[in-house]
Amino acid sequence: MNMKREIEKIIAQAVKTAFDTQVEVELSRPEEKFGDYSTNVAMQLASELQKNPRQIAEELVGHIQDNSSDIFSDVSIAGAGFINLTLTDKSIIEAASKKPEKPLADQTIVTEYSDPNPFKILHAGHLYTSIVGDAISNLLENAGADVHRVNFGGDVGLHVAKNMWSMIQTLGGENPDKLSEIDENNRAQWMADNYIKGTNAYEENDDAKQEIVVLNKKIYEIHNSNDHDSNLAKIYWTCRQWSYDYFDEFYAQIGSKFEKYYPESQTAPIGLQTVKKHIGSVYEESDGAIIFDGDKYGLHTRVFINSEGLPTYEAKDVGLIMLKKSDYNFDKSVVITGNEIDQYMKVVLKSIEQYEPELVQATTHLTHGMVKLQGGEKMSSRKGNILKADDVLKAAAAASQQLHGKESAETVMGAVKYAFLKHRMGGDIVYDPKESVSVEGNSGPYLQYAHARARSIIRKADNPDSAQIVLPENESLNSEERSLVRKISEFPEVVAAATDELMPHHICTYLYELAQNFNRFYENNQVIGDQRQALRLSLVRVYSNVLSSGLKLLGISAPEEM
């Protein structure tokens, strides 16, 4: 049992003893000068007991003190009836030494994120969702869950047809041999350029639009017939593989790993079959298409099978959730996307809820905003003015080179990841490359440097492996030592909150505050050569371990030297 829950149990027992009632105790962390924990349990009980909260608090304090003198050095009342609790040095050291719990040890969780489409360029949104998806997956794994990281993308559909149509124009017809003329280092951009041309043609030229519609059907037929021999199929399969190679290179660069990639060509048949099975009860026919009437549920109506008989994105997502459940029999599925498809996903999930409610109950859809460079305009892949994932990484590398005279891949990735993760997921992010690579302020490199600095102190000692905090008998922690231990003791609670809420920014906020706390300690307390070296060195060691563990949860390296 961690210290927080132990205290909650003590207070709940005091309530039971004093008033013969039960209450769910809520603990918070007050300002350090007021104690280590605080509870408003007296306010919670006031209505039920018809008593003044401060009177209730006064009765509770006595019961708490009687049964926990070895845990609390002070239990006091503040304001209208808040109870502030200060731990003994022994207790706070014990709290800082607790091993992390594994509350999700029996859970199978599928995390789906990044979701790039073949035949298109990777933009900053893919970089963001990859980074935040990795961090959330790390948190779930840290809590003991069996996590399966998967990816989903459209290798069939109108966007592919638009791209293929333009490619065929560029190649002078269905000439797969001419693909060898495309620069190997420019393949992804070549496909992205063709997507822009194909999209413009589809929107501006009726003849081209009709040709693209026909081509879309042919691409589905390539999959249905397992065609690898026709010239069109050769172009398709070659360029799809180019996309996958490009994705693999990108993920290796940022340190992301996926267990499985679900292409839409695989989920489409299952989605098509599932939607057709529920026509009449859930889905209905409208002008030759199959729709879900979301208006009945306060949502909007969407097409799941178009008038050509082809599955739309909606049907493919139906197939995806069915396939993930079949493959993993998950207890929970976490899907991370941009917030522009929030309403779309609500419709898809509401339709599935009508015949597979447990799948929807087990699914959590998280959304994030756009990533923009400072001063940048809104962008789109259709117009071709998107902020590419590579643009962000290059901007960070250039800023690091300008500021530090070097560009370490370790520092650059730490800078970008932390700059994204320190914001609460949901809103847009304005990325400032110079700010992100600074070793001062709330940045990834600042925390990496803080870890390297702590490791440097440890290396100077004769016994660098001392990690157990042991307070000498009959001695007390001074104010800076205690403050650091107190902050260290918060780590399990912060990790638990970040995991429960699926919000990695809590880790970032904590690590920055922890590093600042350590700086105050180190400025006023000599470590090496002091008579309290053993104690202080163990504090440095535990601090560096927590810093390393926190950075690891964020997917950021903790270097030994910088």
Cα 272 from Cα 279, distance rounded (Å): 11
- The stretches in the chain having pLDDT less than 50 are 377-383
What b-and-e string marks burial along 284-323, b requiring 16 or more CB atoms within 10 Å of the CB? eeeeebbbbbbeeeebeebbbbbeeebbbbbbbbbbbbbb
pLDDT digits (tens, 9 = 90+) for 452-505: 999 999 998 876 556 678 888 889 999 999 999 999 999 999 999 999 999 999
3-87 and 393-553 agree in CATH topology:
no
**Of 542, 543, 544, 535, nearest to 470 (Cα)?**
535
Phi, psi of 293, deg, nearest 5: -80, 90
d(CA 253, CA 251): 5
- Helix H or strand E segment including 263: strand 260-263
Q: Does domain 393-553 have CATH number 1.10.730.10?
A: yes
Closest C-alpha to 230, from 279, 175, 283: 175
Q: For residue 383, what pLDDT is reported?
A: 47
Burial (CB count within 10 angstroms: exposed 0-12, middle 13-18, buried 19+), residue 475: exposed
pLDDT confidence of residue 59: 94
CA atoms of 548 and 136, how far apart (whole Å): 17
Q: What is the pLDDT of residue 470?
A: 83
CB 368 within 8 A of CB 420: no
pLDDT of residue 380: 44
Domain boundaries, the chain: 3-87, 155-243, 393-553
Q: Which two tokens stand for residue 477?
A: 């922690």
Instruction: Specify the pLDDT at position 375.
Output: 63
- Contact (CB, 8 A) for 62 and 77: no
One-letter amino acid identity for 26?
E
CATH 3.30.1360.70 fits 3-87, yes or no: yes
User: How far is residue 130 from each of residues 321, 515, 551, measured CA to CA in Å?
Assistant: 20, 26, 16
Are the beta carbons of 291 and 283 closer than 8 angstroms?
yes
SS (H, E, C) 93-125: HHHHCCCCCCCCCCCEEEEECCCCCCCCCCEHH
